[in-house]
Amino acid sequence: MPLSESSLLNKLAAAWPVERWRDVTVLVAVSGGADSVALIRGLQSVAGDEGRLVLAHFNHRLRGAESDADEAFVRNLAGQLGLKVIMGSAESNLSAGGSGEGIEGAARQARYDFLSSAAGQCGARYLATAHTADDQAETVLFNILRGTGLAGLAGIPRLRRLSEATTIVRPLLDVTRVEVLDYLQSIGQSHRDDSSNRLDNYTRNRIRLQLLPLLKRDYNPRVRDALLRISQIATQAEDFFDQQAETVLSVAARQIPGGVEFDLRRLNHIHPALLRHVLLLAWQQQSWPLQDMSLERWTELQSLLQSAAANAKTHSLHLPGSIRAVRSGEILKLVRE
């Protein structure tokens, strides 16, 4: 299908020019749903015979025969496209002892564990996932509702490191679900429908099926575009803070066994907003877990750093992930115990 005839192909080619990836292996996460099927078909169309694409499908085994049918669909699709496929499945019952968001979190973790392994197996430089503009808007709204910082307002990043060798890329973040469905219809491509997307015991489903339609109807018919603008502005701000934080870290911090050490004299005049970003970047560089580092815990750490404790007395703080912050005079150490 010519690029000129498809909004999806045009946006895909612009967001992720084929010159960047056609000479390396790209692992494409394909669930069988409309978005991921459109992604693999679009990537193959853009790359032609020059692409090195591999499909990856993870069977969560949460929907019985329906999940198995998704797996069979993806296997058949790979055969039709002449592409290799790597299959994986949950080794345990992901729904055991949990419900709603707990199951969703466990499923997401299991899926990314598999995708990381599959990327290593096939030597993938990139892992492509099919998050769309609609997913981005839903994520930003979800983050607003639960309380978020700048990173939450930025939403889903276009690029994210999966491992030392593999980067996650999301080429469809500018593409809407309507454009996805139009593209699939235009090429006569079928897809699977995940019935769990209609269940109301998931917060994200309620946002998509109830809240966003209500906001569109009663408050702003272009609410999705408004949320995407918030994401774009926040992403630009995040990029700026990242650059500034890297500069600060280069002069105010050094690696020590098990962690990082800060010279607080070099942080005295740093704006609090940038200071929190410096701490976050240092944390990320250590590959320490972020999930339990709430705003309250970051505030505690920042208070320890900024307190007028420039004396011989030692102050310490225990943080999630077995991280201990120890301040002695004008030195702050973050070390994993």
Quick one: three-class SS letters along 11-59?
HHHHHCCHHHCCCCEEEEECCCEHHHHHHHHHHHHHHHHHCEEEEEEEE
Q: What is the mean pLDDT of each run of 10 residues along the chain (337 residues)?
A: 73 95 96 97 92 94 88 96 94 57 78 94 97 97 90 93 93 96 96 84 89 97 97 95 95 95 92 92 90 85 76 77 92 93
| Strand pairing report for 159-161 and 167-169 | antiparallel
| CB-neighbour burial class of residue 49 (10 A; exposed 0-12, middle 13-18, buried 19+) | exposed
pLDDT value for 1: 59
Half-sphere exposure of 77 (CA within 13 A, CB side): 31
Pick left, alpha or beta for residue 285 (phi over 0 → left; psi -120 to 50 → alpha; otherwise beta): alpha
What gap in Å lies between CA 128 and CA 55, rounded to an integer? Answer: 10
Q: What is the pLDDT of residue 306?
A: 81
Question: How many contiguous H segments (helices) and E segments (strands) does the chain have?
Answer: 12, 11
pLDDT at 95: 59
pLDDT at position 120 is 95
pLDDT at 96: 52
Q: What is the dihedral of CA 250, 125, 71, 104, to 10 degrees?
A: 0
Q: What is the pLDDT of residue 312?
A: 47
All domains of the chain in start order, with CATH: 3-218 (3.40.50.620), 257-336 (3.30.465)
Distance CA 313, CA 306 (A): 15
Give the amino acid at 97.
G
* pLDDT at site 151: 87
Q: What is the pLDDT of residue 97?
A: 45
- Phi and psi of 296, rounded to 5°? -60, -40
pLDDT of residue 292: 82
Rounded to the nearest 10°, the torsion over CA 143, 145, 146, 150 is 40
Q: Sheet containing 253-256: which strands, arranged edge to edge?
A: 253-256, 259-263, 331-336, 323-328, 314-319
pLDDT for the residue numbered 230? 97
User: Residue 144 and residue 138: Cα distance in Å, rounded?
Assistant: 10
Query: How many Å apart are CA 116 and CA 98, to the nearest integer?
Result: 24
Task: For 34-46, give one letter per residue: b (16+ CB within 10 A) or e.
Answer: bbbbbbbbbbbbb
Which position has the token pair 């090195």?
A: 52
Selection from 289, 170, 187 nearest residue 235 by Cα: 170
Which tokens is 19 given?
A: 């010159």
Could you give phi then psi for residue 152, rounded to 5 degrees? -65, -35
58, β-bridge pairs: 88
